[in-house]
Amino acid sequence: MVRFKTISLLALGLSSAALPALAADIVEEPVYVEPAPLPVASGWYLRGDVGYVFESESSGDYGFFNPDPLALGIDEIVHYDEFKTESTASFGAGVGYRFTDHVRGDITVDYFKADLRGSSECAYLVEVGYFLNPVDNDCRYDDTSKVSVWTTMANAYIDIAKYGRFTPYVGAGLGFSHVKYDRQRNEIVCGSSGSCPAENYVGYHEGESTWRFASSLMAGASIDLTERLKLDAGYRYTRIAEGDAYGYDEQDRAGGASGVQGRDHGFDIHAIRAGLRYEFGGAALGYDEPAPVYAEPEPAIYPEPIYK
């Protein structure tokens, strides 16, 4: 009997001694804690840009006025051989709204002023008046002026994807351009043949001012400087519709001419731009989603064994 009790007590002691070791082997599953939500990528933004407008080839035409009472009126439509705007700087500003991480839109106003040059063959009556061979001569009209363009555009953009702080985008816009010509200087360069005058004829034509339809395509990228401030750089192509360019000079008006004499056939404007965009809503595009956070498991506590 005594031997049985001794064995029982010995077994109880061994099992009690093993409990702490078993407890040390128990590992509880980590508790997942939901991370704080990302900043809301929506809201208003402001933008400002400077740009470089490349030289642009265009085309145009004008009506040659015949003052002869027997044939009073437009005698010939002359087309420009060359009609282009020189390269220049541009400036712009706008206000926009980000709808989602990938969709935003804005309304922008841009301005540039460029030198304009045109060249065309002399009209038939001028060639005959200078006793030039109408088939083979080098008589030219050389025109110079300046053109100012204000463009108001409603634009939509797709921010394609996020690569760290770098976000490429594409966009398109529709709007209107106000095109204003300065006074145009028109010089007849007679050439080296015929009975050219000692001094070239120079006339001045008052510039026209018109509103025209305009459309744009854009591509570029933004770089997150901070959570709200972006550096935006890209390319923009703008098509401006045709319109009036200038009226008649003093000599033609004295002969009875009135209204618009010259027209351009529109402009294809290619520009690169860079600027800053400040987003009040705080776009989270340049910031990676935080990694999950796991709470430290609490240590397992077991009651001390009771020995009798």
Lowest model confidence (mean pLDDT) among 5-19, 95-109, 154-168: 5-19
Hey, what are 219's tokens?
């591509």
Taking 60 as the threshold, does the pLDDT of residue 158 lie above it? yes
Q: Average pLDDT for residues 269-284, to the nearest whole number?
A: 87
- Chain position carrying tokens 């709007």: 175
Q: What is the pLDDT of residue 188?
A: 87
Domains of the chain, by residue range, sit at 43-287
40 pLDDT band, cuts 50/70/90, is low
**How is residue 39 annotated by DSSP?**
P
For residue 216, is pLDDT > 50?
yes
pLDDT tens digit string along 177-199?
999 999 999 998 887 666 677 77
Tell whether the model's pLDDT for residue 6 goes beyond 60. no
How distant is the alpha carbon of residue 67 from its chain centre?
Answer: 47
Q: What is the mean pLDDT of residues 148-172?
A: 96
Output the pLDDT for position 190: 81
Q: What is the pLDDT of residue 128?
A: 80
Distances (CA, A) of 131 to 125, 134, 137, 189: 10, 9, 10, 14
Residue 159, strand partner residues: 169
**In the CATH hierarchy, which top-level class contains the domain 43-287?**
mainly beta
Residue 96's pLDDT is what?
96
State pLDDT tens for residues 126-155.
888 777 777 778 888 999 999 999 999 999
Tokens coding 44: 């208003």
Q: Which of 64-68, 116-120, 237-241 has the lowest mean pLDDT?
A: 64-68
Q: Provide the H-helix boundaries in 123-175.
A: 124-129
* Angle formed at CA 258 by CA 252 and CA 259, multiple of 5 degrees: 130
CB 182 within 8 A of CB 206: no
pLDDT for 38 beyond 70? no
3-state SS, residue 19: helix
d(CA 149, CA 1): 115
